[in-house]
Structure 1
Amino acid sequence: MKLKKLLSLTLAGVISASLLVGCSNQSGEDKTIKVGASPTPHAEILEVAKPLLEKQGYSLEVVEFDDYVLPNTSLAEGDLDANYFQHIPYLEQMNSEKDLKLTYTAKVHIEPMGIYSEKHKSLDEIKDGAKIAVPNDATNEARALQLLAKNGIIEVADKELITAKDITKNPKNVEIVEVDAASVPSSLADVDFAVINTNYALNVNLNPTKDALAIESSDSPYVNILACREDNKDSEKVKALTEALNSDEVKSFIEEKYDGSIVPTF
């Protein structure tokens, strides 16, 4: 009887310990926030949010992506709790194309798109037949073409999403070279000008406010956001992350670190 009792107590202890470990692991998972981000500046900004979230008991895991598609599909499939790399028009485009059912909470910053060149010091030097590289995704190509139009290089149709086919006047006969957004900086040696997203410009040590020959105005509608799924928008994790990304600490970091090349919107 004593042996049976001892075995029973031992077994009960093992089961209790297993349950405790299981609960502990589950709790740990519940307190981990997994966010997809571009390396610069998004992942850098998220690092500032980490200690703020730790004070609330959350661990922030940042997964870096070098493209604009996987962060959204990974989020939609549940591999991420949120992502931070894109602006609103791009999110809306991806939702429409892939039926992802994604939304957003925080508006964090604006990254003004700029026109750069390794061969010319001014847009006035543009020659007939010049090659200009632009991002090839729908929203960023439209954004790049609008910037070229604003600077008098081309004229475009009056609509939101435009491609090179929507150029209505091209007095310099420029050739638009469509390139994956992440690869536009590496195309600089092969073209006369390139229109580059700020995050990719910063990756190659180009400062929009110092190195760009022309830049978007500060009232650009392309605000970078914290995206999430519609079904987890009101979760405690997303609420905590939203608060952290709209904190005074993050605002000060953006202003001091990027010296005007990235502008907080809160």
Structure 2
Amino acid sequence: MTLRRIFAGAAAAAIASVGLVACGNDSADDTAADGTTTAAASGETVRIGTTDANLKEWDVFADLVEEEGIDIEIVPFSDYNTPNDALAQGQIDVNKFQHLKFLASYNEGAGEELVPYASTEIYPLALFWQGHDSLDGIEGEEVAIPNDATNQGRAINVLVQAGLVTLKEEGLLDPAPADIDTEASQVQVIAVDAAQTTTVFHEGRPAVINNSFLERADIDPLDAIFQDDPDNEQAEPYINVWVTTPDKADDETLNRLAEIWKDQAVTDAIMESSGNTAVTVERPAEDLTEIMERLAAGEK
């Protein structure tokens, strides 16, 4: 029977310590530069790091993987940097929790070369306005956007796609407030802490709100008055991906796991977890690499 070890209690201090993430013997490490056998290729346990192991889709995925006789170990993390550190240090084989922009930022800051080898989903970022079901009447309003590096540029582009904001230079992937042509825009933009965007919404003002804050603020994701287009080039940095090290990017088992993730049963679970907002993305590894290169080159 396939071994599925899901460590509960992700908030435990041990999970946050990269040195304690490796749960097993060192001989299970994947192919190194000396050509030793990978865990995936040898039939040993494949260790998958994620920050959302509690979601239903992981249980569905694990059942499907078990049917194929692949041994996996789902390793939960309680923060967003440790899964990449653990992967870079060989303590897990793959992770799935981040989008391309986050990965590019991590690689640059940590001096690593982790690679995306398969796309998963994109979660549209949306504009909400309490008591409104369209953009009608929004001209002249002050719109709140999250001020964190991951979401600020994307939020501005949501407003660009909605026709509410004009940039001084068209086509920027990651614009900043300074890039906004205020005279030509229909709304004013104010950047606030991401957690405060829901407060702004409940005060009756429009706000771009990240999906992760909607449920706790009792906001229905389907009440958005506008959301970014996942097929738009400006949304490409926010494609979520499977990530591994360069030497394992072509590993057959790791790629098979990415294929299993696209099974309809997993997709159904993802839609349930996301409130029907997730959009499955089918992009080849070559496209993902090209987007990463553009981000690494500093293209805004």
The percentage of counterpart residues that share the same residue type is: 24
Q: Distance in 1 between the 2:83 and 2:207 partners? A: 25
Kept in 1: contact 2:145–2:197 (CA 8 A): yes
* Structure 2 match to 1:99: 111
- Find the residue that maps to 2:214 and give its secondary structure: helix
Kept in 1: contact 2:129–2:206 (CA 8 A): yes
The Cα shift of 1:166 comes to 0.9
* Structure 2 match to 1:90: 102
* C-alpha distance 93-133 of structure 1, shift in aligned 2 (>3 A): same
* Structure 2 match to 1:146: 157
Gaps of 5+ in 2: 1-23, 30-43, 283-300
Equivalent pairs counted in the alignment come to 236
Q: TM-score, normalised by structure 1?
A: 0.71
Q: Distance in 2 between the 1:169 and 1:28 partners? A: 56
* C-alpha distance 39-152 of structure 1, shift in aligned 2 (>3 A): farther
The partner residue of 1:228 within 228, 238, 244 is 244
* C-alpha distance 38-178 of structure 1, shift in aligned 2 (>3 A): farther
Kindly provide the amino acid, as one letter, of the partner of residue 190 in structure 2.
Answer: I
Kindly provide the amino acid, as one letter, of the partner of residue 257 in structure 2.
Answer: L
Kept in 2: contact 1:73–1:100 (CA 8 A): no
Q: TM-score, normalised by structure 2?
A: 0.64
* Structure 1 match to 2:178: 165
Q: Distance in 2 between the 1:74 and 1:144 partners? A: 30
- Post-superposition CA distance 1:83-135 (Å, at most 9, x none): 22222233223323332211112211221111123475544343746241225
Q: Distance in 1 between the 2:81 and 2:192 partners? A: 17
* Structure 2 match to 1:250: 266
Gaps of 5+ in 1: 1-24
* C-alpha distance 125-173 of structure 1, shift in aligned 2 (>3 A): closer
Q: Which one has a larger percent helix, Structure 1 or Structure 2? A: 1
* Structure 2 match to 1:265: 281
* C-alpha distance 197-218 of structure 1, shift in aligned 2 (>3 A): same
Q: Distance in 2 between the 1:77 and 1:203 partners? A: 35
Q: Distance in 2 between the 1:79 and 1:92 partners? A: 20
Q: Distance in 2 between the 1:165 and 1:218 partners? A: 25
The Cα shift of 1:168 comes to 1.6
Q: Which one has a larger percent strand, Structure 1 or Structure 2? A: 1
Kept in 1: contact 2:164–2:187 (CA 8 A): no
- Find the residue that maps to 2:47 and give its secondary structure: strand
Larger Rg: 1
Kindly provide the amino acid, as one letter, of the partner of residue 154 in structure 2.
Answer: R
